[in-house]
């Protein structure tokens, strides 16, 4: 089967994966294991020349070559600063590789277990590592990576859902009204907070993108790295009751501020950022639905019940955005 715009990885058979890796002088031993990844395709490959490696095939047309290279440069900069991140290997000086119609990168396998933030000291270690990452991120700026904006993650996402064909007439009107109200609340929140300094950030910083080894957290998958506020890399580690989130923030921020500063006004962006993630996630699933990996991984998406719950969640988030995050202090 050949690749298409809707199914860009259709031709990526096991033999094609191994052939692509071997084209760059990597001797494989035949071991191949598909890792959980939907936006891209990621495989663990056994080799006799480079140990076990992780190979990422980038989704066509999502990022430009320059944007991928800037992601790689950021990861390599962090690695050079002795930060625990997954950074790509170079082949003839290049990290972005081309084989047939695919773009790929090869990473050394990073081992570790899932992060357990309820363990004593875990959030402090995450905060310390993120503080060091952000200290580096603040030293220079991305030139081609995207910014975290209301337009990209909110307005464009809303329009994509409305144009997707997933909503019947009644639900389309409800979604349009609720999402419009939510976008205005987000806009008001960002205006109230005023300008905050934006830096290079991970962008998709949650427990699924952290491994835990003997030394602490290892941050992987910088595929969504962007320019944005520091709190975007922090808020997804907070959950539970208000008292629980206060305790989590105290530990996380203490570790973080051992290495860099934090503008506490950004706490008021937590609920607006959560709202943007909710809007964007639905649009992402709708846009990728023709890729067979998505119906298999998200079988509940697109049902009448899903949209009922999603619209109800967006309505509730309007109230949360109004309260925002100052109560964490």
Domain containing residue 134: CATH number? 1.10.510.10
Quote the pLDDT of residue 276: 98
Do residue 138 and residue 286 come from a single domain?
yes
Q: Would you tell me how many other CB atoms lie within 10 Å of the CB of residue 243?
A: 8
Catalytic residue flag (residue 290): no
CA distance 34 to 32: 7
* Owner of token pair 């006004």: 265
Residue 94 lies in a domain: yes
The count of structural domains within the chain is 2
Do residue 262 and residue 181 come from a single domain?
yes
pLDDT along the chain (329 residues), means of 10: 68 92 92 91 93 95 97 98 95 95 94 83 96 98 98 98 95 97 96 93 95 92 97 96 94 97 95 97 96 92 95 96 72
Among 92, 156, 204, 213, which one carries the catalytic annotation?
A: 204
Q: Identify the helix (H) or strand (E) that includes residue 97.
A: strand 97-99
Residue 1 lies in a domain: no
Residue 224 lies in a domain: yes
Residue 85 lies in a domain: yes
Do residue 26 and residue 151 come from a single domain?
no
Kindly write down the DSSP assignment for every residue of 61-91, as one continuous string: TTS-HHHHHHHHHHHHHHHHTT--B--PPPB
Please name every residue paired with 218 in a beta bridge, in sequence order, or none if there are none.
211
CA distance 18 to 48: 13
Do residue 134 and residue 269 come from a single domain?
yes
Do residue 70 and residue 177 come from a single domain?
no
Quote the pLDDT of residue 325: 56
Cβ–Cβ under 8 Å, residues 227 and 141: yes
Among 92, 221, 243, 291, which one carries the catalytic annotation?
A: 221
Quote the pLDDT of residue 1: 47
Do residue 161 and residue 245 come from a single domain?
yes
Quote the pLDDT of residue 324: 66
Do residue 60 and residue 149 come from a single domain?
no
Residue 116 lies in a domain: no
Do residue 242 and residue 197 come from a single domain?
yes
User: Mapping DSSP to helix (H, G, I), strand (E, B) and coil, where does residue 32 land?
Assistant: strand
Query: What does the buried/exposed string (b/e) look like for 88-115 if buried means 16 or more CB atoms within 10 Å of the residue's CB?
Result: bbeeeeebbbebeebbbbbbeeeebeeb
Q: Can you give the pTM of this predicted structure?
A: 0.94
Do residue 300 and residue 181 come from a single domain?
yes
Residue 157 phi, psi (nearest 5) = -65, -45
DSSP 115: -
Do residue 158 and residue 207 come from a single domain?
yes
Query: What does the buried/exposed string (b/e) look like for 151-178 if buried means 16 or more CB atoms within 10 Å of the residue's CB?
Result: eebbbebbebbbebebbeeeebebbeeb
DSSP 263: -
Quote the pLDDT of residue 117: 82
Residue where a domain stops, chosen among 80, 110, 140:
110
Residue 9 lies in a domain: no
Do residue 37 and residue 133 come from a single domain?
no
Catalytic residue flag (residue 192): no
* Range of the structural domain that residue 172 is part of: 122-328
């Amino acid at each position: 089967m050949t690749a298409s715009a809707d199914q860009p990885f259709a031709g990526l058979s096991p033999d094609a994966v191994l052939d692509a890796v071997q084209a760059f002088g990597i001797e494989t031993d035949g071991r191949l294991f598909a890792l959980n990844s939907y936006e891209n395709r990621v495989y663990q490959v056994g080799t006799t020349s480079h140990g076990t490696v992780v190979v990422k095939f980038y989704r066509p047309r999502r990022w430009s070559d320059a944007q991928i290279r800037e992601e790689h440069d950021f990861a390599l900069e962090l690695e050079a600063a002795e930060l625990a991140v997954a950074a790509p290997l170079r082949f003839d000086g290049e990290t972005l590789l081309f084989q047939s119609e695919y773009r790929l990168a090869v990473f050394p396998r990073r081992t570790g277990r899932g992060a357990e933030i309820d363990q004593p000291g875990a959030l402090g270690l995450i905060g310390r590592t993120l503080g060091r990452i952000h200290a580096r991120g603040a030293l220079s700026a991305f030139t081609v990576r995207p910014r975290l904006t209301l337009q990209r993650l909110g307005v464009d996402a809303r329009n994509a859902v409305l144009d997707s064909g997933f909503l019947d007439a009644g639900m389309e009107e409800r979604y349009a009204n609720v999402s419009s109200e939510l976008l205005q609340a987000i806009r008001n929140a960002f205006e109230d907070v005023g300008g905050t300094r934006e830096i290079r950030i991970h962008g998709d910083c949650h427990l699924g993108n952290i491994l835990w080894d003997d030394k602490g957290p290892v941050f992987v998958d910088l595929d969504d790295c962007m320019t944005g506020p520091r709190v975007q890399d922090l808020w997804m580690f907070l959950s539970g009751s208000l008292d629980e989130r206060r305790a989590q923030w105290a530990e996380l921020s203490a570790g973080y501020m051992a290495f860099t500063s934090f503008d506490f006004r950004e706490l008021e962006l937590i609920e607006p950022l959560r709202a943007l993630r909710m809007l964007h996630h639905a649009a992402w699933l709708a846009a990728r639905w023709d890729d067979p990996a998505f119906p298999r991984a998200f079988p509940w998406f697109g049902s009448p019940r899903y949209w009922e719950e999603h619209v109800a969640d967006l309505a509730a988030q309007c109230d949360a955005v109004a309260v925002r995050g100052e109560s964490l202090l």
